Amino acid sequence: MKRLNILLLILTLVAIIFAATSIILPWWSLSLSAEAKIILNSDFRVDYGLLKSVRATLATQTANQSMTVELINLTSQKDPNADSFKFMDTTLTLVIVGLALSIPLVIAMIMPQLSRYRRYIAIIGYLSSVILFISSFYFVSQVAGPISQLSSLTPISTPTDWVRISPTDITGAWGSKAIPPTSPLLVWVNSGNFWVWQPSLGWYLAFSSALLIALASLTLHLNLELEKKQEMAQEHRMLGAEESTNR
């Protein structure tokens, strides 16, 4: 089972790296749709991070621009701890707690002397996974409301001939704004989106991390049951052998 332990260790380490990097990576983004990018030969993306920073990048045939600002700069509020973005702090706390709870899994796999505590460690692993799941789903359930109340979605202004997007267009974590029927872009596509928004890499990493930790904990748990069954079977066999020699 040594090989299995190494595999579980790798899985857990990958999950921890995913959860840790998710903290600094963007969790939600607004960008040009694939069709708009190709037709305009441009790229535009606004990434919102858990640490309340917003990074916008614009690349057109004539200009390249990039800017990072604090989220507060896009609101009409002056208080950086404004209630509307408290959900980001909650999510961050949940990710950190989930991350911290996954550490015992690694320790248990590295230190064989802790093997008798594996049952409890598997339970802690399940808990870590559940917390990371909650953080992911809590974020997607909350993000649209505060974003729709921003004064502007991006710190960089987009070219004037592009389809306008306002914060009130954001009604869910996933969504899109279609190319209007009068747009010249429809020469290439008969229908399509101009803007798309969705959870970003950080969110996907946190979600994947929850899945991987759940997998590692489940395997650890089942392995424990399996070992117990094997031990019992061996004991049974030994008892049988002893009885037959006594007879």
Partner 1 sequence: MSEQKPKFAFVLALAGAALMFVNALLVGTNGAPLTISSSGFQSPGEVIGTSATQSWFRISFGFRGFIEGAWSLFWLVTTIIMLYCAIRLYMKPTEHQILCYIIATLSILGIIYGGGFIIGAILGVLGAGIGFAGSSDFENSFFYKIIRAAKLDPEFYKGLSNDKNSLKHATYALVFANILSGIGSGVYSYNAQRILNASSQAIPFKILFLGEMPLDISIVGTVVINIGLAMLKWMTLSVIIYFITVGLLERKQKLSNIASVVAFAYVPVSLQFVMLFILANKSLIGFTLPFYTFLITNIWMILALMRGVKQSLETGLGKTLGIFCVSGAIYLLVHETFFAAFDIQNAIRFTIQPQGVLLMIVSCLLIGALLFETFTKH
Contact positions vs partner 1 (CB under 8 A): 3-4, 7, 11, 34-35, 38-39, 41, 61, 174, 187-190, 196, 198, 200-201, 204-205, 207-208, 211-212, 214-215, 218-219, 222-223, 226
Strand 175-178 to 26-32 pairing? unpaired
Structure tokens at 179: 């190319």
Q: Could you give the CA distance from residue 27 to residue 197 in angstroms, rounded to a whole number?
A: 11
The answer to whether the beta carbons of residues 192 and 33 sit under 8 Å apart is yes
Report the nearest approach of partner 1 to the CB of residue 73 (Å).
26
Report the nearest approach of partner 1 to the CB of residue 178 (Å).
14
Q: Which is nearer to partner 1, 127 or 218 (CB)?
A: 218
Q: Which is nearer to partner 1, 37 or 52 (CB)?
A: 37
Q: Which of 29, 11, 23, 13 is nearest to 205 (CA)?
A: 23
Q: Could you give the CA distance from residue 202 to residue 95 in angstroms, rounded to a whole number?
A: 11
Report the nearest approach of partner 1 to the CB of residue 68 (Å).
20
Q: Could you give the CA distance from residue 153 to residue 55 in angstroms, rounded to a whole number?
A: 11
Amino acid at 90: T
Q: Which is nearer to partner 1, 63 or 79 (CB)?
A: 63
Report the nearest approach of partner 1 to the CB of residue 78 (Å).
34
Q: Which is nearer to partner 1, 149 or 193 (CB)?
A: 193
